[in-house]
A = this chain, B = another copy of it.
Amino acid sequence: MIAPRPDALVVEAVRSGGAPVATDPLDAEAIVWLDPKSPEGLSTVLAESRHVRWVQLPFAGVERFVGAGVLDPRIMWTCAKRAYGEPVAEHALALALAALRDLPQRSRAHRWGRQSGTSLFDQRVTIIGGGGIATDLVSLLAPFRARVSVVRRHVEPMTGVERVVGDDGLDAALDDAKVVVVAAALTPATKGLLNEARLTRIGPDGVLVNVARGELVVTDDLVAVLRDGRLGFAALDVTDPEPLPETHPLWAIDTCLITPHTANTAEMAAPLFAALVRENVERFVAGVPLVGVVDLNEGY
């Protein structure tokens, strides 16, 4: 069943994955849930169902569904983690290059100016989070010979990454990075991770890029360190609160660039989500493990 309402691309994906599309919750063995903002709607559909064994959620981040207590542990939950890595990693690189090359300042200029800018070649980049965004960003950074550190819970070697460290290596990985990209799931453990002390470690020549969730950064601390230059630049695709109100002080800071959660637009996501649904339907029909399974203990 595709709910709350069917989408042509997803219907085609389910069918080409080898399954019929149920229209009555009572008939459904699986639900592809398309509304990222309505865990309550999903609860209602689940309450009307009897045979559902699997629910596919639409976003990579599932903190809203976790928070609403919808994730019944008796069924299998998958989300779109790893499916949207490419466009989000691309956006992170675009923001980092723009910051290093002074493109925000140039976008506001109405006259020629002095030479400025820093090359990304051979620089140190730290990625917080070891999921699909990190993996795809490492690929984009490879031709720059960037020296990449990844900070993640599961410390294991990653291709193209110089250092993989756990939480206890975070501070050191911030100290020597030119660019820090936040690409981790939002969980109780990561909320507020980048506070004043940690932002200061990135330093006056450093660039912070956040393409994950606004709540991983303490917004008031970010305002403070940008204002007095303890942090060089912040490029944010996500904010806390979101959307950021027009009166917020971040809008007035020249060393801050904000995009309105567009790393992965609906247009970019649609074909990637359809491909994921097709793959998971094929796997469900064949009885093999699904991709993007949510770990209910870890919350992502």
Residues of A within 8 A of B (CB): 86-87, 90-91, 93-95, 97-98, 100-117, 119-121, 139-140, 142-144, 243-244, 246, 251-252, 257-262, 265-268
Contact A110 B251 (CB under 8 A): yes
Q: Say how far A247's CB is from chain B's closest CB, in angstroms.
A: 10
Contact A104 B103 (CB under 8 A): yes
Contact A94 B90 (CB under 8 A): no
Contact A260 B114 (CB under 8 A): yes
Contact B257 A106 (CB under 8 A): yes
Q: Say how far A101's CB is from chain B's closest CB, in angstroms.
A: 5
Residues of chain B within 8 A of A243, CB atoms compared: 112
Give the distance in Å from the alpha carbon of A100 to the alpha carbon of B268 in the complex.
13
Contact B121 A87 (CB under 8 A): yes
Q: Answer whether A94 and B103 are a contact pair too, CB < 8 Å, given A115-B266, A140-B144, A244-B112.
A: yes
Contact B104 A259 (CB under 8 A): no
Q: Answer whether A110 and B246 are a contact pair too, CB < 8 Å, given A94-B97, A119-B268, A143-B143.
A: yes
Q: Answer whether A121 and B86 are a contact pair too, CB < 8 Å, given A101-B94, A107-B104, A143-B142.
A: yes
Contact B143 A262 (CB under 8 A): no
**Nearest B residue (CB) for A101:** B94
Residues of chain B within 8 A of A265, CB atoms compared: 115-117
Q: What are 28 A-B pairs at a CB distance below 8 A?
A: A87-B119, A90-B101, A90-B119, A90-B120, A90-B144, A93-B97, A95-B103, A97-B98, A98-B98, A98-B107, A101-B259, A102-B259, A102-B262, A103-B257, A103-B259, A104-B107, A105-B107, A106-B257, A106-B260, A107-B108, A111-B246, A115-B265, A115-B266, A116-B262, A116-B265, A117-B262, A140-B143, A143-B143
Residues of chain B within 8 A of A260, CB atoms compared: 106, 112-115
Give the distance in Å from the alpha carbon of A95 to the alpha carbon of B268 in the complex.
20
